[in-house]
Amino acid sequence: MSKNLRINNKQFVDETRKLSFIFNGKKLYGYKGDTLASALLSNDIHLVGRSFKYHRPRGIMTSGSEEPNAILQIGNDDALTDPNVRATEIELYDGLICNSQNCWPSVKFDIGGINNFLSPLLPAGFYYKTFMWPASFWEKYEYFIRKSAGLGKSPKKQDPDMYDHRYMHCDILIVGGGVSGLIAAKIASDDNKKVLLLEDKELLGGSLIYDDNDISKIDNQKSSEWLKKLIENIKNDKNIIIKTRTSLAAYHNYNFLLARQNLTDHLSVNDRSNKIRQRLYKIRAKKVIIATGAIERPQVFHNNDRPGIMLASAVKKYIDYYGVRCGLENVIFTNNDSAYETALSLYKSGTKLNAIIDIRDNSSSEIVNKVKSLGIQIYWNHTVVNTKGYKRINKITIMKLNDKGNDVVGKKIELNCDCLAISGGWTPMVHLFTQSGGKLKFDNKDNIFVPDKTNLNQLSIGSAKGDFELDDVLKNSIKDTKKFLQIENSNFDKIDVKCSKEKEKKNIWLLPSDKPLSKTKPFLDYQNDSTAKDIKLALREGFKSIEHVKRYTTTGMGTDQGKLANMHALGIVADTTNTNMGDLGTTTFRPPYTPLTFGTIVGRNVGQFFDIFRKTPIHDWHVDNNAKFENVGQWKRAWYYPKDGESMHDAVQRESKAARESSGILDASTLGKIDIQGTDANEFLNRIYTNAWSKLQIGKCRYGLMLNEDGMVYDDGVTTKLGENHYLMTTTTGGAANVMSKLEDYLQTEWPELDVFLTSVTDHYATASVCGPNAKKIINKIFKNLDLSDESFPHMSFKEVKLDNINCRIMRISFTGELSYEINVEASYGKYIWEKCIGAGKEFNITPYGTETMHLLRAEKGFIIVGQDTDGTMTPVDLQMDWIISKKKYDFIGKRSLYRSDTIREDRKQLVGLLTDDPNEILEEGAQIVKDENKKPVNMLGHVTSSYFSPTLKKSIALAVLKEGKKLKGQKLLVPMIDKTIKVTVSDTVFLDKENERING
Amino acid sequence: MFLINCPYCGERDQSEFVSGGEAHIARPKQPTELNDDQWAEYLFMRKNIKGIQFERWNHAHGCRKWFNVARDTSNDKIEKIYKMGEQPPKL
């Protein structure tokens, strides 16, 4: 540290705890309590980054979340590195490693800096205009643009940190722990409300806590002393929960808010292990009080972006809070009184202040008079017209303003300056208010947007609502909070506040220079490098809406979301187009207020917790027997069981051959199961299925097809009549929940008169499905007393038996075309009954098969899978399943739609079979089918929905949907692939056992 | 994220509910009597207004009951919640 930039004895920085950190490879030191920004400044480092487009050197500009320039890459680990971290927000910890972004090879010598000299060639919209044509070149352009775009580097490895979510509820949520928020918290707590107070910094108190001037007094005490007592009081208040290092990210409707708390980011890396890094609070508040304060505005003048140019409030905070001087030759440039507080702080700390430049003609307030009395040179009615110093400001040139304030007159005056503290007034932080749907109004006096109308139970107080002077802040906060909470009296009612009052106001959105605008660089958005010129260009080119101007110039589109730039952009648009700023409106403020890490958003829902998954009671057996699994809805279903390094194809061929030639067993537990009871259950089935159910006898099963009201197939499954008014319906695995809610919907809203009760019993039963020519022998071995003859137990019937005191429901139904028994038992006995079947089937080579084999077996029989062979545009007629539509029933769901003009079209897509000319060629599911591939554009006739190689038929088979497919049977068509064209013939959908003989074994 | 006052369970977070679209569209008693246009009116035509809209909601992750909601689509404010079968309120 060559220069003496540290001021000793500051209460917020612990000089006994020295911390080391590395910036761009250089080891530096700071103290506990520093932010990374204050530590860098104490080492005389201003230059920390390069701007996005022109690669201009940029320095630390602010002391908060509005920082546009000092965004760094933290950490050098592939997994833990964090891009775009604001140096002004991160608390210094021992061993912190950080690097500048957007520069190469280094921040001091950046090759991209050549863009600065090319800047006349890079106006707003340059990229839009240049890379539009020829369109085919975009892929080439994109490669280079992507390389030069973007600021930080994202981590390459999985995030090893832990994140957490928590719900919170409160009577009053207070956002912001400054003086207004603290007063509101105390008033609410005294009224016995449960208060949640959020503060994004590590300490409460806002900017008043380090205020050191002698003019502001509360109850005859120094304002910061008064505030400290209030904070102590609040910390001991049992009604108030305080969360510091917690920033509000989003304010949604119905007072639902998201806040992010940093738990370990301020600790040295070694102290973080096994701790949660960040926590996301999901807060539901009865009432919300927004006390987020205000952000100081910069001024817009030529070369206003050099390192060393900072907000006046930031310069003050670095001195009064962190004890760091930002420069040794300071100049203040302002249009208002607040910067004079910075002047007093500089004076008190013994820091040299060369001059104050004020665009106003004069100011007669108490604070300005005090500065005048100290003999500090003030240039009234002057403006900065240029600055010098490439990597750090070293000189400024000032000139006198003319009467209108739109030009400069007189002689140039040059001043030495290594830190220029600028202030263009204050902007209330209304982001949260507008996020919540609140409407703003424009205040002409201070040129600010303030909260106006809201539908929610919320209040904005303090400088967040546009009160900037201490007496207004305190008295209005007390008054408004009392009214909001409907309280008559508070302990603050007799508060006595003294402060300086600003009388003279003047604002110029774009300050004039001695050079024409086209030769200057007055920056608005520092991060995105947009200047006042760009705004004017956008307006000249016809962009009128502020939303369009924003997107064309990218003003306000950086990671800082235009916190500093937006007001000037609006002001310049208003001035140029002669519009009132209030009529112009603002751009939309969207959450999050400050960027969130993905980890925080995701919380614990990572890895195996990303989505819930459901396992059948037989799952462990599948795992033990080497099953590969497939996701079906949320279920993990056994897909196939490879043996000795078999490929999927080989395993499926073996499994399906075994099922056809001897026996196979499938875990069918995942099928949706709905228990239906009630005196109107039969009538209900008649209304929801296309076929007739009136004559179904107890102990019999029936296949049913369910449509949507639009006539399209929705679900299918077998329903069994268990008793007079008792049915068990099965649904597809994926459709179970939807079917259940659809049936509930009809029962509750359309047919409340029906006496029917539905219970989802999917999880209550496990199902083992044994099929194949030897299935009967296997079942007979297990259930010795059960009569399995076709007369006593025919296809599509059901028996209830006991095995070892376990109730078993056995359905003789088949999805494979083979003789097949489905044994349903209570879930906890699922694995037991499965293993019984495996044991009994051993001598018959019983082969467990998965979903892939099941799909193949049913495709050989031409059975559809809803969702694979249908897609919500297929009627039963399209599926060639006319037989299942009852002609007798007056009505069922979807019936009327089956003869709409569209559904009776003959050229609809219809389900057909496809056989490849080469029996070994397996079609790809999803492949398109055409008649003529030479005539362009090629007419697409349909696509393949299911395709397999059948080991029983020794050829490839496929199902497809095809335009006018019914008429095309026997026709030769083509399936063009990327490397060949496959010849196919349209066939029947049933490939195997058309006579249904296998069903009886 | 809305806070919905289920008439059977009380105030719950929106994530427990599913929306079922416009309310008070009764399924025709005799669909076969309707021509294509009339059927299409029932099947497809739904309002999408700015202002108070009557909707069906289902407490899917709660009591599974359906009920009606009068919601102002311009600000998502729920003006009234009433049970199935009840007439829409005059708002």
In chain A the domains, ranked by start, together with CATH numbers, are: 1-155 (3.10.20.440), 162-294+428-498 (3.50.50.60), 309-422 (3.50.50.60), 667-857 (3.30.1360.120), 863-1000 (3.30.1360.120)
CA distance A252 to chain B (A): 7
Please answer yes or no on whether B34 and A896 come within 8 Å at the CB atom: yes
d(CA A314, CA A321): 10
Buried/exposed code over A876-886 (b: 16+ C-beta within 10 A; e: otherwise): bbbbbbeeebb
CA distance A202 to chain B (A): 29
> Which A-chain residues 145-204 have CB contacts (< 8 A) with chain B?
none
d(CA A405, CA B4): 56
Beta strands in A668-761 (DSSP E): 672-677, 701-707, 713-723, 726-731, 757-760
Name residues whose C-beta falls within 8 Å of residue A353's C-beta, 6 or more positions apart in sequence. Answer: A330, A331, A332, A343, A346, A347, A376
Residue among A113, A236, A256 nearest A173 (CA): A256
For residue A551, what pLDDT is reported?
87
Partners of A760 on chain B (C-beta within 8 Å) are: none
Homologous superfamily of B3-22+35-83 in CATH?
Answer: Folate-binding superfamily (3.30.2270.10)
Residue among A786, A769, A742, A767 nearest A659 (CA): A769
d(CA A469, CA A471): 6
- Strand-by-strand arrangement of the A330-334 sheet: A309-311, A419-423, A330-334, A353-358, A378-380
CA distance A942 to chain B (A): 26
Full DSSP string of A388-427: E-SSS--EEEEEEE-TTSSSEEEEEEEEE-SEEEEE--EE
Partners of A707 on chain B (C-beta within 8 Å) are: none
Does the CB of A749 have a partner CB in chain B at under 8 Å?
Answer: yes
8 A C-beta contact, residue A538 and residue A525: no
Cis-peptide, bond into residue A105, ω within 30° of zero: yes
d(CA A492, CA A494): 6
- Give pLDDT tens digits for A647-673: 999 999 999 999 999 999 999 999 999
Question: What is the token pair recorded at A424?
Answer: 């263009």
For residue A510, what pLDDT is reported?
96
For residue A1, what pLDDT is reported?
43
- Give pLDDT tens digits for A236-291: 999 999 999 999 999 999 999 999 999 999 999 889 989 999 999 999 999 999 99
Residue type, A588: T
Name residues whose C-beta falls within 8 Å of residue A959's C-beta, 6 or more positions apart in sequence. Answer: A859, A862, A864, A869, A911, A912, A913, A914, A944, A945, A946, A947, A989
d(CA A588, CA A68): 19
Residue B3 predicted with pLDDT over 60:
yes
For residue A123, what pLDDT is reported?
67
Provide the whole-model pTM: 0.89
d(CA A86, CA A101): 12
d(CA A36, CA A91): 6
Domain boundaries, chain B: 3-22+35-83
If residue A953 lies in a helix (H) or strand (E), which one and from where to where?
none
d(CA B68, CA A97): 57
**3-state SS class at B52:** strand
Residue B36 phi, psi dihedral angles, 5° rounding: -55, -40
Does the CB of A455 have a partner CB in chain B at under 8 Å?
Answer: yes
CA distance A303 to chain B (A): 44
Please answer yes or no on whether B66 and A749 come within 8 Å at the CB atom: yes
For residue B2, what pLDDT is reported?
93
8 A C-beta contact, residue A958 and residue A942: no
d(CA B15, CA A383): 56
Question: What is the token pair recorded at A137?
Answer: 């070149």
d(CA A775, CA A787): 14
Residues (pLDDT < 70) of chain A are: 1-2, 9, 104-105, 111-114, 117-151
For B75, which of A455, A749, A896 is closest by C-beta distance? A455
Which residue carries 């009224």 as its tokens?
A: A191
8 A C-beta contact, residue A674 and residue A758: yes
8 A C-beta contact, residue A424 and residue A346: no
8 A C-beta contact, residue A746 and residue B20: no
